[in-house]
């Protein structure tokens, strides 16, 4: 079956089957979706270079379907593997990937952190003006009815600085 036939087949796939594929994508965790989108981008560039007789929007749509299906099949194969036949490098990659998925599923901000983030601009402004975390906690409580400890403010401040460094 040629590439053009594959693309045509995916474009003419029943809506129900396409919906199933996209539901699978919607159930993935964020790191998994990012991986699928990276595969989509690579597939899109590959399909674009093939000079297919379809508009780019349809080619992009098919590339996304290909990427989701390919990712799902890849995960099924990995799930069936036992570690006996894998090299240390492959085991390391699989373990790192599983750790990322676990972290994404279990990393939820605390309600206090969410409250602090609503007024993060105020926190940054006051901290840059020389206020202590205790004073900032008092301001948040007085002005915004947000009860938060200075320890929580300090923890969130350090976490945001770490994220800033990663972004640079």
Torsion of CA 7, 13, 17, 23, to 10 degrees: 50
Provide the pLDDT for residue 166. 61
Of how many residues is the chain composed?
A: 168
Q: What is the pLDDT of residues 74-86, one digit of tens each?
A: 777 666 656 666 6
Whether pTM exceeds 0.75: no
**Integer Cα distance of 166 and 168 in angstroms:** 6
Phi, psi of 145, deg, nearest 5: 55, 35
Give Cα separations from 75 to 16, 36, 46, 98, 155 (angstroms): 22, 11, 22, 11, 36
């Amino acid at each position: 079956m040629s590439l053009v036939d594959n693309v045509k087949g995916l474009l003419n796939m029943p809506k129900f089957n396409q919906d199933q594929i996209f539901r699978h994508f919607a159930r993935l965790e964020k790191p998994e979706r990012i991986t699928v989108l990276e595969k989509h981008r690579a597939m899109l560039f590959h399909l674009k270079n093939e000079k297919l007789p379809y508009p780019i929007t349809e080619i992009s749509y098919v590339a996304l379907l290909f990427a989701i299906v390919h990712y799902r099949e890849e995960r099924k194969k990995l799930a069936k593997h036992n570690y006996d036949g894998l090299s240390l490098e492959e085991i390391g990659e699989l373990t790192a990937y599983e750790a990322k998925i676990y972290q994404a599923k279990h990393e939820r901000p605390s309600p206090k952190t969410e409250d602090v983030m609503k007024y993060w601009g105020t926190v940054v402004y006051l901290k840059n003006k020389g206020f202590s975390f205790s004073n900032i906690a008092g301001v948040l409580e007085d002005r915004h009815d947000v009860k938060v400890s200075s320890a929580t403010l300090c923890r969130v401040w350090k976490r945001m600085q770490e994220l800033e460094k990663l972004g640079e």
